[in-house]
């Protein structure tokens, strides 16, 4: 028997609010299955389980705000002598909170919002728990888009949680909501508590500057060869299949780690050991403010096409509030770019417990010397913030030089 606890979703998280269970006592789960949804300063996060077994008992109620490490559920694993006998909950409106049952999605399936099969519940809209209606991330997003108050929707999920299908049925059943019957959220108001998110980010960055001995390097890279290759590659492609320069920068960074593998890892215990897999975090700006850096898992195994697809998917799900906890907790290096803002360079702060952060500024046409002549060429400034406990300036310089060399041969990406 083991206990499944509230996971840490990053250095800037201290607690989370349980808003949805996707399993019930007696359900079989496999490592990587999504079993719950937790709301944090970063939005609604799908929580994966890290063991295979049978859910024996749910230890947390919907609406509870729990600190990292607090028990969520009890799990019977293969080491237990016999399977647990779990009483089936009564059907109908008076069923226990975990009456709804569904098979959790496989870890290999796309991380789309999960709609669970449930027993019939009352048509009365769910009462808010602590002022917040329990709802899936997809339901929240759709309701916000439609200007619909979740309290007006009859939920069919566990404990009356509102699912995406419930929102769609509500919208299809009648006219669009009007201001005097349903309070629509003010235009432009973010769905996240941005003040709380900034406090969490500030706490993590304060810890990083206090505990990590940073050193910084910058380097200018000639991007003209990469830009020419990109233009030729995209010429015959439809817009949805075109590559962006960002995908080339990520791919080059991931490949360059072979020259300085100590920059890829998480300093969580002495002695430090670099990570084998590369889980490359991407700093994603949220609409309305705030920042999240989920990771492209196993990025070293992906070519530039797969990197581009993963970037599109990750940015879309980040802004829709549909990330998984593994994407927030397993990053081994982070890339940040302010290129779209026109900034030439950035000096980053390492996201603990990682040991390096790579920053890219805006690509610009600059005068550069080629074969003894001054030519206008596209160039970019790349910066490195690295942990002096695991590397030094010479190793960092070799890493930046490797990124440069790889980008001069874009056809090899």
Give the CA-trace dihedral at 402, 405, 406, 411, to 10 degrees: -170
DSSP per-residue string spanning 137-170: HHHHHHHHHHT--GGGSPP-SGGG-B-HHHHHHH
CA atoms 310, 316, 322, 327: torsion sign: positive
Catalytic residue among 180, 371, 388, 404: 388
| Catalytic residue list contains 388 | yes
Report the relative pairing of strands 34-40 and 291-292 from DSSP bridges.
unpaired
Per the CB < 8 A criterion, the answer to whether 35 and 48 are in contact is yes
Catalytic residue among 193, 222, 392, 404: 392
Per the CB < 8 A criterion, the answer to whether 70 and 60 are in contact is yes
Report the relative pairing of strands 333-337 and 280-282 from DSSP bridges.
parallel
Two structure tokens written together for 46: 């799908």
Residues 254 and 301: their CA atoms lie apart, in Å, by: 10
| Catalytic residue list contains 193 | no
Catalytic residue positions, numbered = 388, 392
């Amino acid at each position: 028997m083991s206990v499944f606890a509230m996971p840490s979703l990053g250095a800037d998280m201290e607690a989370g609010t349980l808003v949805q269970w996707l399993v019930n006592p007696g359900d079989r789960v496999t490592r990587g299955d999504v079993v719950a949804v937790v709301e944090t300063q970063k939005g609604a996060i799908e929580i994966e389980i890290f063991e295979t077994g049978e859910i024996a008992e749910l230890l947390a109620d919907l609406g509870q705000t729990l600190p990292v490490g607090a028990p969520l559920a009890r799990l019977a694993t293969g080491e237990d002598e016999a399977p647990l006998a779990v009483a089936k909950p009564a059907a109908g409106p008076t069923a226990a909170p975990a009456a709804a049952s569904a098979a959790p999605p496989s870890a290999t399936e796309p991380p789309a919002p999960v709609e669970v099969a449930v027993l019939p519940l009352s048509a009365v809209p769910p009462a808010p728990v602590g002022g917040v209606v329990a709802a899936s991330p997809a339901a929240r997003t759709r309701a916000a888009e439609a200007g619909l108050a979740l309290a007006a929707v009859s939920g069919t999920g566990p404990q009356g949680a509102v699912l995406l299908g419930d929102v769609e049925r509500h919208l299809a059943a009648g006219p669009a909501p009007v201001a005097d019957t349903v309070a629509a959220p003010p235009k432009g108001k973010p769905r996240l508590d941005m003040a709380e998110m900034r406090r969490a980010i500030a706490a993590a960055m304060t810890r990083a500057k206090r505990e990590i001995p940073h050193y910084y390097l910058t380097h200018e890279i000639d991007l003209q060869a990469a830009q020419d290759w990109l233009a030729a590659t995209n010429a015959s492609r439809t817009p949805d299949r075109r590559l962006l320069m960002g995908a080339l920068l990520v791919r080059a960074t991931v490949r360059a780690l072979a020259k300085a593998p100590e920059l890829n890892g998480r300093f969580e215990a002495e002695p430090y050991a670099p990570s084998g897999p590369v889980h490359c975090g991407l700093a994603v700006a949220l609409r309305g403010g705030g920042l999240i850096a989920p990771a492209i898992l196993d990025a070293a195994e992906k070519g530039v096409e797969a990197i581009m697809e993963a970037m599109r998917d990750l940015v879309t799900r980040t802004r829709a509030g549909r990330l998984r906890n593994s994407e927030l907790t397993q990053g081994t290096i982070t890339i940040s770019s302010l290129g779209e803002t026109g900034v030439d360079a950035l000096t980053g702060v390492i996201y603990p417990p990682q040991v390096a952060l790579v920053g890219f500024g805006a690509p610009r046409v600059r005068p550069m010397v080629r074969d003894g002549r001054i030519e206008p060429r596209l160039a970019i400034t790349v910066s490195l913030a690295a942990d002096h406990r695991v590397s030094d300036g010479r190793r960092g310089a070799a890493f930046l030089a490797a990124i440069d060399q790889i980008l001069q041969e874009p056809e090899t990406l």
